[in-house]
Structure 1
Amino acid sequence: MSILFECEYEGERYAGFTRPVPGQELALYKVSPGQVQAAIIAEGGARAAVRALTREIAPVTVDGAAELRTLPPLLPTGGDTALVSGFMRTHKSKYEDEPTEATEFVAPNWFFKGFGGWLRMPDQTLTVPAKAVALIEEPEVALVYVNDDEGTPHYAGYTFANDLCDIGLHRQNPGWNPYCKLCDTSITPWLFLDEPPRTVTGTTVIERGGVAAWQGTFDCGADALYFKVQDMADNLFEYPALRRPGLVNYVLLGADEASFHDGFRIADGDRIKIDVKSHDVTLANPVRFGGTPGTE
């Protein structure tokens, strides 16, 4: 699987195209803010952009264990020209019937999660309201799109996220769902340069006091969804608000049932570890009730 990531190294921004491995050499390519997004648009896709960037930029070689500050994939400087949003109730397991080719598309519910600058990286703290009713972790595929100067979205690739939210508040009143989503979202730095994955499987472990307090499996790939990914994306990008020039969109495809549905309740200080075994990716974050978002 081809990947792309961006990071800060010794105070400068770089792109890399293989995951760091301690003890192995890692090639980094110095880029300016927005350069990778521009290459994706100009070259007609992320794979072609990688080829162009590696031709044009001389690499810097570091050890895979070097101190790198990884960034959310393609996040613009400042993060205020990027949006995080997603779909609700997308899994087949939440419907009584099975979709067919003749099933008429009816758009699933959609929510706005926040600006791209609100995204948290692996190991960073996820801050939630001090009086959260009942949290739920949501392992999801996140599609990443970059808009050109005309506002046309260009698909760049996918990564994985934890759409942590207060499902208890939503259950009290579905109209409060916008409040329910005001919890930090974590995302992995690795952008996979392929079409949205058909199968994504893994295990979630919620640790309390350093030991596993709950464990379960998940599948958030396209084959597990009631809706076709392209239908959802096409409908979403009909809305001009998401087609602003230069905007980066992180679109979450939804999650299946998780710890809340098993009767477990996430507590202050718990650590949520999402192991996407199908893609060899781990996303782990501690949870804090109250406090200031964006601080450790």
Structure 2
Amino acid sequence: MTVLFEASHRGEPYVGLGDPEDAELTLYPAAGLDLPGAVLAAGSDTEALTRALTAGRPVEVPALDVSFRPPLLPRSPGDALVGGFMATHNVKADSGAPDQPNWFFKGLGDVLKVSGEPLRVPGSAVAVTEEAEVVLVYVGDADGTPRYAGYTFGNDLTDIGRFRRHNGHLSYAKLCDAGIAPWLFLGTPPTHVTGHVTIERDGDAAWQGAFVTGTKALHYPLRDITSRLLSYSSLLHPGRVHYVYLGADRSSFHHGFTMADRDRVTIAFATHGVALTHPVHWG
């Protein structure tokens, strides 16, 4: 499967095709490149996209020497919309579940943070938890219709305590930063994803646990929930990039753990070789 990423090296923008576990990266110049537009133009023709992106002279650099960007993030963060669904997984949805899960808005493109960057939560947060999730990425075509581009992985950091205190406050509970991997997998959403979470406090592991996600873990048909969401004209605009978080398995909160300011959260999506690490900052 083709995996696409954007990065900067020595102050210059590049694009690459590779594996999340590669120690050495092959980068191609991307100055002036409209990457979302290129992905949209190529559609499902990954060979054509590869040819278009690798036309420049490549450079080989260690992965540690580059700074990654969220996949397809527009240069103006206001052109990206980040949101998702809650209680989508079989382990959370019961017989009384609605026919469409609740959707939430997390923010614009500037709430997306790649590994190593802090995730900010409000100073008034009640009880914060990580949520290991598959993230679908869409790009609005000339008519504003979102076209599926690929998928990645993320951490939908949530003030679950605020939601538990008053379930009408889901909209507030979700207004935390979101972790996201820079790797865009150019294929259909994964059916089965497994991994584990480690939360460190003062350098020591304070909590660890495993998770299962992917489309087979969903209580709802994926096509139904995404097509309904993306049918609302108020969300649509040409060139807008949508990041849709698909919901999570049980988290550390469900196992009785309480996260604190400056905790360090690592989510390893083991089946796909992707790891996200973020310190969590209150206020």
TM-score range, shorter chain: over 0.9
**Residue 61 of structure 1 pairs with residue 54 of structure 2:** no
CA displacement, residues 19-78 of structure 1 (integer Å, 9 cap, x when unaligned) = 4733x4x321222455221122222236245323246x2232222246211000000002
- Separation in structure 2 between the aligned mates of residue 237 and residue 69 of structure 1, nearest angstrom: 31
User: Match for 1:78 among 76, 79, 94?
Assistant: 76
Percent of counterpart pairs with the same letter?
46
CA displacement, residues 89-123 of structure 1 (integer Å, 9 cap, x when unaligned) = 10011234599xxxxx8221000000012211101
Query: What is the aligned partner in structure 1 of residue 16 from structure 2?
Result: 16
Q: Structure 2 vs 1, CA of residues 252 and 264 (structure 1 numbering), >3 Å: closer, same or farther?
A: same
- Separation in structure 1 between the aligned mates of residue 53 and residue 103 of structure 2, nearest angstrom: 37
40-49 or 184-193: bigger deviation: 40-49
The number of equivalent residue pairs is 282
Query: What is the aligned partner in structure 1 of residue 44 from structure 2?
Result: 45
Q: Structure 2 vs 1, CA of residues 48 and 233 (structure 1 numbering), >3 Å: closer, same or farther?
A: farther
**Residue 215 of structure 1 pairs with residue 215 of structure 2:** no
User: Match for 2:153 among 160, 179, 188?
Assistant: 160
What does 1:217-296 align with in structure 2 at a 5 Å threshold?
217-290=210-283
Letter in 1 for 2:5: F
CA displacement, residues 246-292 of structure 1 (integer Å, 9 cap, x when unaligned) = 100000000121111111100011101101011011001011111xx
TM (norm. structure 1) is 0.90
User: Match for 2:134 among 138, 141, 151?
Assistant: 141
Structure 1 contact 87–109 (Cα < 8 Å) conserved: yes
- Separation in structure 2 between the aligned mates of residue 90 and residue 242 of structure 1, nearest angstrom: 21
Q: Structure 2 vs 1, CA of residues 64 and 231 (structure 1 numbering), >3 Å: closer, same or farther?
A: same
SS in 2 for 1:250: strand
Letter in 1 for 2:158: C
- Cα deviation for residue 144 of structure 1 reads 0.3
SS in 2 for 1:41: helix
Letter in 1 for 2:201: R
- Separation in structure 2 between the aligned mates of residue 49 and residue 155 of structure 1, nearest angstrom: 17
Q: CA RMSD in A?
A: 1.9
Letter in 2 for 1:3: V
- Separation in structure 2 between the aligned mates of residue 43 and residue 136 of structure 1, nearest angstrom: 38
- Cα deviation for residue 10 of structure 1 reads 2.1
Return 5+ residue gaps in structure 2 as ranges. Answer: none
Query: What is the aligned partner in structure 1 of residue 114 from structure 2?
Result: 121
Letter in 2 for 1:243: L
Structure 1 contact 36–49 (Cα < 8 Å) conserved: no
Normalized per residue, which structure has more strand?
2
TM (norm. structure 2) is 0.94
- Separation in structure 1 between the aligned mates of residue 63 and residue 188 of structure 2, nearest angstrom: 30
- Cα deviation for residue 209 of structure 1 reads 1.1
- Separation in structure 1 between the aligned mates of residue 83 and residue 45 of structure 2, nearest angstrom: 21
- Separation in structure 1 between the aligned mates of residue 48 and residue 8 of structure 2, nearest angstrom: 20
Q: Structure 2 vs 1, CA of residues 12 and 94 (structure 1 numbering), >3 Å: closer, same or farther?
A: same
